[in-house]
Amino acid sequence: MYVAVKGGERAIEEAHRLLAEARRGDPSVAEISLAQIEQQLALAVDRVMTEGSIYDRELAALAIKQARGDLLEAIFLLRAYRTTLPRFAASEPIDTASMVIRRRVSAIFKDLPGGQILGPTFDYTHRLLDFDLGDGNGDRPADDVTEQGEISSEPMPRVVDLLDREGLIETEEAPDDSTPVDDLTREPLRFPASRGMRLQNLARGDEGFLLALGYSTQRGYGRNHPFAGEIRLGEVEVEVAPAELGFAITVATIEVTECQMVNQFKGSATAPPQFTRGYGLAFGEAERKAMVMALVDRALRSRELGEEPQSPAQDEEFVLYHSDNVEASGFVQHLKLPHYVDFQSELVLVRNLRAERGVSPHS
């Protein structure tokens, strides 16, 4: 006999208890601290901050711990917290030209003012598992640590600004201060989206999704001949100019990765041949994310630049509506919710259709 599905409340409570237990794992293994996550899983923290769109290493570490290392779940936790916070000001644009540089590479000039700074990168590591890094051995000092002082203190102008001086690259006009800053988390996305909205969407967008899209542009689906004009990583100041003060004050120092892609453009009826830009920016060390964001940003500019949009990466609605992993993950996983009623309607329909075709129930 059918017993009505009761006790949902109790089942949920038990599920939460089991989850807490699973999160902790074997209690004989030491509990991980937030400081450990912040310091030793720093790139996970950076990703969660970027896609969670809140710069707070400690909260991101907490989210990662609570989510058992599931970064999408951690991003969701951070977003749901962020939405409850008041918004009291829009910052001044950050000035990445005056960044305190940790890494800076350009793929288009062998040398340039300020030089190339490799910084902390996986790039030229050989991907050999380092068995010496096992438990208890992580504290050995790295070989040949160079003095930080070797980094030049001379200013490091951005490569695109150097090209700009020659008129070889399109100029980008900053919107004047009277234009309010769009906020994707407060207003619905509309099409065509402003560049600001689009960049916010891409910055929050899922790294894996954007990686695949950016990659597709390189393989011919919306090709636009990218060069990594410059990638820079370092600290910048965040300034806010309160109306009652009338001048800007520094409220925070944050680490960001910026990527400026330089893309070929043969010119159009109204524009001379020149290079165009794609822009990527992410919190912390997030070079892959910044690069693919720049590729996709450029691909999405196709209409504005008079290129025929033909590929997924150039399709604004397709990209911007599907980039958000919190939305995507929720909607995909909602399939786990009961659908008894819709399914029953479909059963009735399919049985009727089969009966009308004279199909017997067991054929």
204 three-state secondary structure: helix
Q: Which is nearer to another protein, 170 or 324 (CB)?
A: 324
263 three-state secondary structure: strand
DSSP string, 276-326: EEEEEEEESS-HHHHHHHHHHHHHHTTTTTT----SGGG-HHHHHHH--HH
Q: Which is nearer to another protein, 82 or 225 (CB)?
A: 82
Residues found in the chain: 363
304 lines the binding site for another protein (CB under 8 A): no
Part in contact with another protein (CB under 8 A); list of ranges 9-17, 115-123, 266-274, 276-284? 9-17
100 lines the binding site for another protein (CB under 8 A): no
51 lines the binding site for another protein (CB under 8 A): no
Q: Which is nearer to another protein, 195 or 223 (CB)?
A: 195
309 lines the binding site for another protein (CB under 8 A): no
329 lines the binding site for another protein (CB under 8 A): yes
Q: Which is nearer to another protein, 105 or 197 (CB)?
A: 197
Q: How far apart are CA 127 and CA 363, in angstroms?
A: 57
From 20, 251, 347, 355, residue interacting with another protein (rule: CB under 8 A)? 347
CB of 281 to another protein, least distance (A): 21
Part in contact with another protein (CB under 8 A); list of ranges 27-35, 230-238, 268-276, 343-351? 343-351
CB atoms inside a 10 Å sphere around CB 237: 18
225 lines the binding site for another protein (CB under 8 A): no
340 lines the binding site for another protein (CB under 8 A): yes
Q: Show the tokens assigned to 360.
A: 């017997």
Q: Which is nearer to another protein, 76 or 265 (CB)?
A: 76
148 CB-side CA count, 13 A: 4
Q: How far apart are CA 183 and CA 201, in angstroms?
A: 10
Say if residues 293 and 203 touch (Cβ distance below 8 Å).
yes
CB atoms inside a 10 Å sphere around CB 325: 20
253 lines the binding site for another protein (CB under 8 A): no
Q: What are the residues facing 258 on neighbouring strands?
A: 232, 281
Residue 5's contacts (CB-CB under 8 Å, 6 or more residues apart) are none
11 lines the binding site for another protein (CB under 8 A): yes
From 4, 128, 129, 245, residue interacting with another protein (rule: CB under 8 A)? 4
Say if residues 143 and 158 touch (Cβ distance below 8 Å).
no
CB of 70 to another protein, least distance (A): 13
Segment (H or E) for 24: helix 8-24
CB atoms inside a 10 Å sphere around CB 264: 13
How far does CA 213 lie from the centroid of its chain?
A: 13
From 133, 332, 355, 359, residue interacting with another protein (rule: CB under 8 A)? 332
345 lines the binding site for another protein (CB under 8 A): yes
Amino acid at residue number 120: P
251 CB-side CA count, 13 A: 15
**Contact track, another protein, 69-88, x by CB under 8 A:** -------x--xx-xxx-x--
20 lines the binding site for another protein (CB under 8 A): no
**Contact track, another protein, 171-200, x by CB under 8 A:** --------------xxxxxxxx--------
Segment (H or E) for 239: strand 226-240
6 lines the binding site for another protein (CB under 8 A): yes
Part in contact with another protein (CB under 8 A); list of ranges 2-10, 233-241, 251-259, 298-306? 2-10
CB of 66 to another protein, least distance (A): 13
Q: Show the tokens assigned to 150.
A: 């070797």
Residues that bind another protein (CB under 8 A): 1-2, 4-9, 11-12, 76, 79-80, 82-84, 86, 185-192, 317, 321, 326-327, 329-334, 337-342, 344-349, 352-353, 356
